[in-house]
Amino acid sequence: MKIIACYSSKGGVGKTSAAVNLAYASAKHGLKTLLIDLDQQGASTFYFRVRPEKAQPSKTIIRSLVQKRDATKEIRETDFELLHILPANQAFRNLDSLLDGIKKSKRRLADFIEDLGSSYDRVILDCPPTLSLMAENVFRTSDIVLIPVVPTTLSERTLSQLTEFFKEADFKKKKLRPFFSMVEKRKRIHSDTMSRLRLSEKRMLRSSIPYSAEIESMGTHRAPVLQFSPAHPSSQAFRELWMEVESLLKP
């Protein structure tokens, strides 16, 4: 089992679209895949058409995380073979306060996933945009932390802050794998930022995801762009991202 987190402390950067399409690509390539939607907004859950009544706040997942109880009954099948999802839960907004003070609070997600995802080849985490105790759990647990970076000054600053946090917390910086997201190459600031960061940030992935109306229409189709528009350039970009991530996971 390998764990891939899609994380950014900045919202609106393409984190969820990456998580959804990577999960779909993983399953399409024959890997049994679990997508865990840790973001209380539940966008990944929505994209995969999980019924609202099955994604309502429930104490089961919270108990499982905090008290190490079984949460396998909460996992839902999607419309796609080999792809399952643990839906979002509005109660996740209280996770930090619940985790704070319990024993091994920074390892609880790792234990939770070890129990929950042991039968899966890939576990993909769609993380909330916060730098919190839950985020520290994510950083400790994941094999790779994918960071979508819109090529602008603010996103560059967000990446720098996260890198510094990893250094101060003594996390393994090699886990951090930023990639450019929502790229508009006709914008000079995007081109300039990409050129500068590719020189200074050695962990930056080669793959980049374009800004695309086709990706935005995932909300209308309620499906990965790889599924409803496989020939579109944005789909090819997600395939390249998946292949690059997979190459990093190989021993």
Domain at 83, CATH number = 3.40.50.300
d(CA 131, CA 220): 30
Between 87-96, 128-137, 194-203, the lowest mean confidence (pLDDT) is in: 87-96
Residue 148's domain comprises 2-249
Between 6-10, 57-61, 116-120, the lowest mean confidence (pLDDT) is in: 57-61
Q: pLDDT grade, residue 54 (50/70/90)?
A: very low
Q: Count CB neighbours of 234 within 10 A.
A: 21
Number of structural domains in the chain? 1
Q: What percent of the chain has pLDDT over 90?
A: 64
Helices (H), the chain: 15-28, 43-47, 59-67, 95-99, 108-116, 133-141, 153-169, 188-200, 213-216, 218-221, 225-228, 233-249
| Amino acid, single-letter form, for residue 132 | S
Asked if pLDDT for residue 219 goes beyond 80, the answer is yes
Helix pair angle (15-28, 233-249), 10° resolution: 70
Cα of 229 vs its chain's centroid, Å: 21
> Mind listing the pLDDT tens digit for each residue in 120-154?
999 999 998 888 888 888 999 999 999 999 999 89
Q: pLDDT grade, residue 98 (50/70/90)?
A: low
Q: Which two tokens stand for residue 89?
A: 């839960």
Asked if pLDDT for residue 116 goes beyond 80, the answer is no
Q: What is the mean pLDDT of the chain?
A: 87
pTM of the complete model:
0.90
